[in-house]
Structure 1
Amino acid sequence: MSRLVAFAAIQGGYKVVSQVEGELEKALQSYDASTKIGFPNTAYYLPVIYSLTGMKCETLEDLKKPMAFARGLLPPHIKGSNHLPYLGPLLDAGMAGIFAYEVKEALRILKEPDFYIAQEDPDIDAGKLWVGPADDTILRKRGVEFVDGSAPGFAAVVGAAPDAETAKMIVEDYQKKSLYIFCAANHNGKTVIEQCLEAGMQVGWNTRIVPFGPDISSAVFALGFANRAAMAFGGVQPGDYRRMLMYNKNRIFAFVNALGDVGTEWAVAAAGAVNWGFPTLADTDIPEILPTGICTYEHVVANVPHDEICQKSVEVRGLKINITEIDIPLAFGPAFEGERVRGGDLFGQMGGSKTQCTELVKMAEMNEIEDGKVNVIGPDIADMKEGDVLPLGIYVQIAGREFQPDFEPIMERQIHHLVNYIQGIMHIGQRDISWVRVSKAAVEKGFSLKDIGVVLHAKFHQEFQKIVDKVQVTLYTGKDDVDKLTATARAEYKKRDERVDTMTDEDVDTFYSCSLCQSFAPSHVCTVSPERTGLCGAYNWMDCKASFEINPTGPNQPIKKGKVLDQKLGRFEGVDAFIKGASKGAIDTYNFYSMVHAPMTTCGCCECIAAMLPSCNGIMTVGRDYTGDTPSGMKFTTLAGVMGGGASSPGFVGHSKFNITQKKFILGDGGLLRMVWMPKIVKDEIYDRLNARGAEMGVENFADLIADETVGVTEEEILPWLEEKGHPALSMEPLIG
């Protein structure tokens, strides 16, 4: 253990605590002691202080207690030839500094409420570069990634690299490994975030490059995020400091990169991070702490070359990342999924109503395809000029000893994520309504459509080893070829849907859960049955069954439906037991076939939201692609915000478009004949199915009896029209009895 590094950290602790004590005293002279303080939109108060001590800091007066606690942690100064091991005093000084930094940031937010922008991405044009502490919405959305492994950890980068290109190289190395990059502090007035922007990178939570703040004190937001994740997802209780720190050491694989001169204020922050088991790696010549102890391996490593700092950090932290290099000219990884290819960045595109873009995965026999073969039939990106469009057909053939036709739609939906993982490429939609946008930057680096096939081949092998033996990809860009593939694909889609359409809930004794959306709707548990497809429209019962066979520990788990508790409303004993556990007690029960009585929980990913229209004795539904007003008085976005957080909201329910014409759709409330309004875009899409289901229920041409926005967007506007048409809902028993 170096005496010098312990000396610097302890000196830094005294310096920071004294500075913040002064700032707090000045604030108490300027504001009333009862003035409210805290980080915006969080139930965790000042999260580091709250999680480790249980102190709830809500007013200026409350800040005195953690500052006194921090002062009490400060160890004696190191004097003379003291040969004691310095790790204990260093850790105490570091923790004192971290507490003080969190108080400092709370005081900044009090005095400068607009300093940070409270959203996922900065507003560069408005000069709002720093996002500050993540609110609880971001925590729910992103924190679960540190639990399920999709984000193995984070790099807390403080300071700045020598130049923008070096900063870009370091940050992209971490992105490729699916790590978050939490950025704070400046070196000689320059920050890594500014360097990333200079290098043309997109920053924000969506690209995992998070601009916390320009000062070393804002690094405390990274530790606060880690501790909140432990409380929210790991069940660690506030004040259980030992379990909190051990959870972070064992579960949150994080480390600090110090880029630039490490003074006493940086040293105390680094010492504080060691308490969490987070080591520091520096690009300068600072004293090292090489023996193991708190951290998995070394605590402080110096003189790390910039082109080695990523790999060295991963090694020192003991993080295991299994990534096989994919031979394409662009970076690849989940960090790029949030990128957007906007108008000024766009080189060319396929689909998105400009051309046809279709995707199809089909099972093949082992001797029919050649593993790794990728063909582009037709023009490629190099044949396009800026602004051009192309049709595109992505046809993937998979052979495997354990592969089944039921797995085809599961694999097909992976195309969306995997193409989005390519830096500079944006993918939207699925099936025959996909849309691919290619950026100028990607073209400059040599992107080819063949690279999509290379990615799909590699990732299908990596992620589905159990069922995949061979993958062959063909990409069509000629109109005739794409139209031919689209006709084939639509016939396959229809066949898949019909497999479920002929099944009933009574045919099976097992339903399936889907918990994919619990990251942002913690109490939401979607249960998928043959006659109740997933709310998002992406999963039906067959898909969930196949998903479970592929990944038995995944988000789609079997649920024995058990005893039928209410045949009409669709309530099952086994489902009640499952959802109570899966929602951690937040939800005791819900009904499959009702939106009036204890309806299923809803998340923000639902394809449609239905709402009661009491004056019309019926219901309406609205899809997320309709942005106008509705007779409920709320647009889709408002509805999703009101009841899309995992709640069971009587009078409202989320559902898929396909579910509208399934036989059990709100059957406990009267069924489809209650439908009095839906947007024209939805009605046109499912027109034939509406008429077919209506006829089964005794009403011919039922679609023509449903009002849309061309009739009106209030109950008062549509009711006379419904009366003129003789809509059956008007003569049904009251919806609310």
Structure 2
Amino acid sequence: MSKLVSFAGIQGGYNIVSKAEGRYKMALESFDASTKVGFPNTAYYLPVIYSLLGHKVETLEDMQKPLEVARRLLPPHIKGANHLPYLGPLLDAGMAALFAFEIDEALRYLEDPDFYYVSEETDPENGKVWLGAAEDTIFRKRGVEFVDGSAPGFAAIVGAAPDPEIAKKIIEEYQKRSIYVFLAANQNGTSCAEQLIEAGVEIGWNTKIVPFGPDISSAIFALGFANRVAMAFGGVPAGDYKKILMYNKDRVFAFVNALGDVNAEWAAAAAGCVNWGFPTIADTDIPEILPTGICTYEHVIGNISHDDIVDKSVETRGLKVTISEIDIPCSFGPAYEGERVRGKDLFCQMGGGKTQCTEYLEMADMNDIEDGKVTVDGPDIGDLSRGDVLPLGIFVKVAGREFQKDFEPILERQTHHLINYIQGVMHAGQRDIAWVRVSDAAVDKGFTLKDLGVVLHAKLHQDFQAILDKIEVVIYTKQEDVDALTAKARAAYKYRDERVDQMTDEDVDTFYSCTLCQSFAPNHVCSVSPERTGLCGAYNWMDCKAAYQINPTGPNQPIEKGEVLDAKLGEFKGVNDFIYKASRGAVTKYNFYSMVHDPMTTCGCCECIAAMLPMCNGVMTVNREFSNETPCGMKFTTLAGVMGGGASSPGFVGHSKYNITQRKFILGDGGLLRMVWMPKMLKEELRERIEKRAAEMGHPDLFDKIADETVGLTEEEIYPWLEEKGHPALTMEPLVG
């Protein structure tokens, strides 16, 4: 190991800690020691310090202790002669620097609260480029991707490329591999984030290109994100630094790309990242640390060309990434799913209220379709002018020896994701309310509507090869053909919906498990029945049944419900036996239809969380998208942090949006009639279903009696309004007694 890299890294550690100490001292002169500090909307305090040291930094005074730890970690300076260039002291200096970085960024939030833009998307036109620390709502939604494999890892890029086109090329190579990109720091006043904006690349959480901040200190947000993954999804307790760091080495495949000259502070940051098992790959000729040890392979590699830096980074981190080559002119991959096609970039569109746009997948006889055949029946992109609209019908015919009609909706829903994977093409909605927008850039590359069929054929074959033998796609763009397909599709939709809606838990002897989230909530076992959809909203009973048939060893396993132990609360002996085994003895029983008595366990992926409101003798629920306080005194993020790790928490329960209007929703506690508050956005989204279910329960006016944030955000505020409206919960038997 080079003496030079040790000298630079340790000197950088001293510089960074000294700067943070000075800034902290100045802050104490301007603010009271009891002043609240922290990153916005998170239950993880300052996550690197909290996860590794167990210290909850909540006030300015609380910063003193981690700063003292950082100072103690700094090793002696490298001597001019007889130096000992061991890796350990360098790693300590790097860790000290990272603790100081987190203090420095927390002080920035205190002193300049508007410096970062609290959003999932940037707003470059108004100068809002830097997003800062991820809020828990973003973290919960995105962090799970590093557990379930949809995001193989992340590249933390510091500095800037020589020019915007090189920056764009590097980022697009990562996007093809579905790798997140976290951006921080600048090089001579220019940052990679600003280069990408100049090159016309959309950045933000929605495109998996996340600009954290303009300084090297903002790289700490990437490490904080990784440590939150270990705590929330890996179940590692705060303060267990060995397990936190090992989880990241083994489970979060991240690395650093240093673009531009590496100074002492950058060297300290790189040394700090090595503690996580995250290597640094640079484009300049820097001193290297090549032996394996803390990292899977090399620790620091320099002088890598921009053409090779992506492949070298993936190789050095030990990532296993598969690139699916799809024969279309545009780039393709999950990284483009969140991409927007805005008005100024729009060439043409289909659906979205402008025209009819319908997608339908149907099982066909093996002899009636030709595998790989894609037909465009009607005008295509080349027949249009900029700004034109078209009706669109996407008809996918599939056949397979193992395919069943029940699988149709599962595969049909893939249309949304797969079309969104095409760079420059945006898809929204589903069924007969779909919306497709095509950008100028996609058309310039040669995109046609036939490419939609090429993508669907290739990806459905890849993802469902066990059940599919043939796939044929027809794209309709003539109005009469689209209308005919829409009529056919709507009849099928109606049949599917009625079949699920009419099913009851009493109709079946088998429920299904979903243990996908056990990787980050080890004790959680989600059980799905006809009248209780999965709490993430992604699975209903029919989906689980079909998924089990597609993949018998997957996360959706059959549960023989067995003897009914409590019909009102929804307790079943077979379910209890299954969850006891699946939770490794941590959970002995739970009830399907109650949030008061032994409710089902909850993980952090739930769409909504319900909580008791004792004063109102009712319950409230809040959806993930609602970021304000709620009448139970907690935001969604706080609720998820408190009871979202796989616990059964009486008085609280996670659930899906759809579940709210299912017949068995907390029926053991009084059902939907107990609902006294929910966010207005959620209430309006479910209006028709709430009104229908309320009418079935004898209260057709219940919708207008449910309070929302326009009424109040505390029980004291909403109670008089509920009395005035005559909400039925107020006259029901006590919720707890």
TM (norm. structure 2) is 0.83
TM superposition shift of 1:511: 1.0
Contact 2:255 2:278 in 1 (8 A): yes
Q: Is the 8 A contact 1:609 1:655 kept in 2?
A: no
Does residue 487 (structure 1) correspond to residue 518 (structure 2)? The answer is: no
Query: 2:25: which partner in 1?
Result: 25
3-state DSSP of counterpart to 2:157:
strand
The amino acid of 2:180's aligned partner reads: Y
Alignment match, 1:204: 204
Letter in 1 for 2:436: V
Amino acid at match of 2:255: F
Stretch deviating more after TM superposition (530-539 or 286-295): 530-539
- What does 1:618-637 align with in structure 2 at a 5 Å threshold? none
Compared CA separation, residues 479 and 608, structure 1 to 2 (3 A): farther
Match of 1:279 in 2: 279
* SS of 2:431 mapped into structure 1: coil
Structure 1 residues 317-326 or 427-436, which shifts more?
427-436
In the aligned structure 1, how far is the partner of 2:303 from the partner of 2:64? 39
Do 2:663 and 2:693's aligned partners in 1 also have CA atoms closer than 8 Å?
Answer: no
Farther off after superposition, 458-467 or 29-38:
29-38
Show the counterpart of 1:631: none
Q: Percent identity?
A: 67
CA distance in 2, matches of 1:266, 1:418: 39
The alpha carbon displacement at 1:191 in A equals: 0.5
Listed one character per residue, the Cα deviations across residues 606-656 of structure 1 (whole Å, up to 9, x for unaligned) are: 6999999x99x999999999x9xxxxxx99xx9999999979897999666
Match of 2:389 in 1: 389
Looking at structure 2, the residues matched to 587 and 390 of structure 1 have their Cα atoms a distance apart, in angstroms, of 54
- Mapping of 1:160-175 within 5 angstroms? 160-175=160-175
The residue type equivalent to 1:306 in the other structure is H
Match of 1:354, SS state, is: coil
Shift of 1:37: 2.5
Question: 1:138 corresponds to which letter in structure 2?
Answer: I
Question: 1:362 Cα deviation (Å)?
Answer: 2.0
Summarize the Cα distance change of 1:519–1:474 in structure 2 as closer, same or farther, 3 Å threshold: farther
Q: Work out the CA distance in 2 between the residues paired with 1:719 and 1:69.
A: 55
Contact 2:12 2:267 (8 Å CA) reproduced: yes
Q: Aligned residue for 2:509?
A: 509
- Residue 158 of structure 1: CA displacement? 0.4
Q: How does 1:351-370 map to 2 (within 5 A)?
A: 351-370=351-370
**Which residue pairs with 2:157 in the alignment?**
157
Partner of 1:74: 74
The equivalent of 2:315 in structure 1 is 315
Deviations 1:113-157 (A, max 9, x none): 221223322333442321112222222221121111111111000
Does 2:432 match 1:429? Answer: no
The 5-angstrom pairing of residues 573-592 of structure 1 reads 573-575=573-575, 592=592
Corresponding position: 1:267 with 2:267: yes
CA shift in 2, pair 1:418/1:580, >3 Å:
farther
Q: Report the CA distance shift for 1:322/1:536 in structure 2 as closer, same or farther (over 3 A).
A: closer
Alpha-carbon distance between aligned partners in 1 of 2:299 and 2:68, rounded to the nearest angstrom: 28
Shift of 1:592: 4.6
Contact 1:3 1:86 in 2 (8 A): no
> Could you tell me which residue of structure 1 aligns to residue 182 of structure 2?
182
1:557: how far off? 3.8
Kindly indicate whether the alpha-carbon contact (under 8 Å) linking 1:562 and 1:574 is maintained by their aligned counterparts in 2: yes
Q: 1:448 to 1:524 in 2, by over 3 A?
A: farther
Q: Give the superposition deviation at 1:266.
A: 0.8
Counterparts of 1:596 and 1:73, CA distance in 2: 48
**Residue type at the aligned position of 2:390:** L
Amino acid of the structure 1 residue aligned with 2:11: Q
- Given that 1:611 and 1:652 are in contact with CA atoms closer than 8 Å, whether structure 2 keeps it comes out as no
- The total of aligned residue pairs comes to 711
Give me the whole-angstrom Cα distance separating, in 1, the residues matched to 2:464 and 2:147: 21
Report the residue type matching 1:348 in the other structure: C
- 2:32 matched to 1:55? no
Q: Any unmatched runs of 5+ in structure 1?
A: 628-633, 723-728
Q: TM-score, with normalisation over the residues of structure 1?
A: 0.83
The answer to whether the Cα contact below 8 Å between 2:147 and 2:519 also exists between their aligned partners in 1 is no
Relative to structure 1, is the Cα distance of residues 313 and 329 closer, same or farther in structure 2, using a 3 angstrom cutoff?
same
The residue type paired with residue 189 of structure 1 is G
Cα separation, 2, equivalents of 1:685 and 1:353: 23
Q: Distance in 2 between matches of 1:653 and 1:111?
A: 37
Q: Per the alignment, in what secondary structure is the counterpart of residue 255 of structure 1?
A: strand
Residue 630 of structure 1 corresponds to none
Look up the match of 2:34: 34
Q: How does 1:4-23 map to 2 (within 5 A)?
A: 4-23=4-23
Give the 3 Å change call, closer, same or farther, for CA 256–491 of structure 1 in structure 2: same
The structure-2 alpha-carbon separation of the partners of 1:451 and 1:28, relative to structure 1 and needing over 3 Å to count, comes to same
For residue 432 of structure 1, give the secondary structure of its aligned residue in structure 2.
Answer: helix
1:590 to 1:133, Cα distance in 2 relative to 1, 3 A: same
1:123 maps to which residue? 123
Q: Mark the CA change 1:23 to 1:575 in structure 2 (over 3 Å): closer, same or farther.
A: same
Q: Is the 8 A contact 2:141 2:605 kept in 1?
A: no
1:363/1:405 contact within 8 Å kept = yes
After the TM superposition, which of the residue ranges 230-239 and 191-200 deviates more from structure 2? 230-239
> Tell me, what secondary structure is at the counterpart of 1:367?
helix
Deviation at 1:14, TM superposition (A): 2.0
Q: Which residue of 2 aligns with 1:100?
A: 100
Corresponding residue number in structure 1 for 2:418: 418
- Tell me the SS of whatever aligns to 2:254: strand
Deviation of the 1:161 alpha carbon: 0.8
C-alpha spacing 1:74/1:451, structure 2 compared with 1 (3 Å): same
Q: Is the 8 A contact 1:70 1:97 kept in 2?
A: yes
In structure 2, relative to structure 1, the CA distance for the partners of 1:484 and 1:514 (3 Å cut) is: farther
CA distance in 2, matches of 1:675, 1:6: 62
Q: How far apart, CA to CA, are the structure 1 residues paired with 2:406 and 2:461?
A: 18
Cα pair 2:534 2:655 within 8 Å, conserved: no
- Aligned-pair CA distance for 1:263: 0.9
CA drift of 1:718 comes to 13
| 1:405 positional shift | 1.8
Query: d(CA) in 2 for partners of 1:363 and 1:380?
Result: 26
Q: CA deviation at 1:82?
A: 3.2
Task: Give CA-to-partner distance per residue, 1:151-180, whole Å, 9 cap, x none.
Answer: 111100000111111111111111111111
Cα distance change, pair 14–147 in 1 and its aligned pair in 2 (3 A): same
- The one-letter code matched in structure 2 to 1:208 is K
SS in 2 for 1:158: strand
Specify the code of the residue in structure 2 equivalent to 1:186.
Answer: N
Residues 676, 707 of structure 1: 8 Å contact kept: no
- CA contact 2:11–2:264 (8 Å) conserved in 1: yes
Q: What amino acid does structure 2 have at the position aligned with 1:11?
A: Q
User: Amino acid of the residue matched to residue 567 of structure 2?
Assistant: Q
Indicate the residue corresponding to 1:565 in structure 2.
565
Q: Is the 8 A contact 1:533 1:656 kept in 2?
A: no
For residues 667 and 641 of structure 1, the distance between their equivalents in structure 2, rounded to whole angstroms, comes to 26
Contact 2:152 2:253 survives alignment (8 Å): yes
Counterparts of residues 342-353 of structure 1 (less than 5 Å): 342-353=342-353
Q: Distance in 1 between matches of 2:657 and 2:54?
A: 43
Indicate the RMSD between aligned Cα atoms, in angstroms.
4.6
Segment of structure 1 superposing worse, 479-488 or 147-156: 479-488
Would you say the 8 A contact 2:609–2:636 is kept in 1?
Answer: no
Amino acid at match of 2:153: G
Partner Cα distance (2:214, 2:45) in 1: 22
380-389 or 24-33, larger mean C-alpha shift: 24-33
Q: Which SS does the other structure have where 2:433 is aligned?
A: coil
